[in-house]
């Protein structure tokens, strides 16, 4: 697997059936920044899925850049609040344990922030 940003993009379940709702979520979550890195949860690729369950509840599957991220709880809560504002319905955050890497970031994100 390549470490090149964009080579491991998230695939959202709702993208095929409700791209407009996905776009509203994407725009809303661009305001949620990782305070240490300064990039949004969208740019970092931390939002791995967006779906509705059988009851119509919105579920956002999210990962963190590190398992012990000190800002994790605040970042998860900010993501939930902004997601609810963006799509106009209650949102549940499902925290996944996938290991984050640079390939999950959006293509074209500037990597000149000292991690390489």
Give pLDDT tens digits for 76-101: 999 999 999 999 999 999 999 999 99
CA distances from 73 to 33, 40, 80, 106, 111 (A): 13, 16, 11, 23, 25
**Residues 62, 93 contacting (CB under 8 angstroms):** yes
Residue 45: per-residue pLDDT: 95
Low-confidence residues in the chain, pLDDT < 50: 1, 116
Domains of the chain and any CATH numbers? 13-104 (3.30.300.130)
Q: What is the pLDDT of residue 114?
A: 52
Q: What is the pLDDT of residue 20?
A: 97
Q: Is the pTM of this model over 0.75?
A: yes
Q: What pLDDT, on the 0 to 100 scale, is given for residue 112?
A: 58
């Amino acid at each position: 697997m390549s470490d090149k940003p964009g080579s491991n993009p998230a695939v959202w379940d709702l993208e095929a059936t409700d791209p407009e709702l996905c776009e509203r979520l994407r725009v809303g979550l661009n305001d949620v920044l990782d305070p240490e890195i300064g990039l949004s949860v969208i740019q970092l690729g931390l939002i791995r899925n967006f779906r509705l369950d059988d009851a119509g509840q919105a579920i956002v599957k999210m990962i963190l850049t590190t398992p012990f991220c000190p800002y994790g709880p605040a970042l998860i809560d900010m993501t939930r609040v902004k997601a609810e504002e963006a799509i106009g319905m209650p949102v549940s955050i499902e925290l996944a344990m996938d290991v984050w890497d640079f390939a999950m970031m959006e293509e074209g994100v500037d990597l000149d922030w000292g991690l390489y």
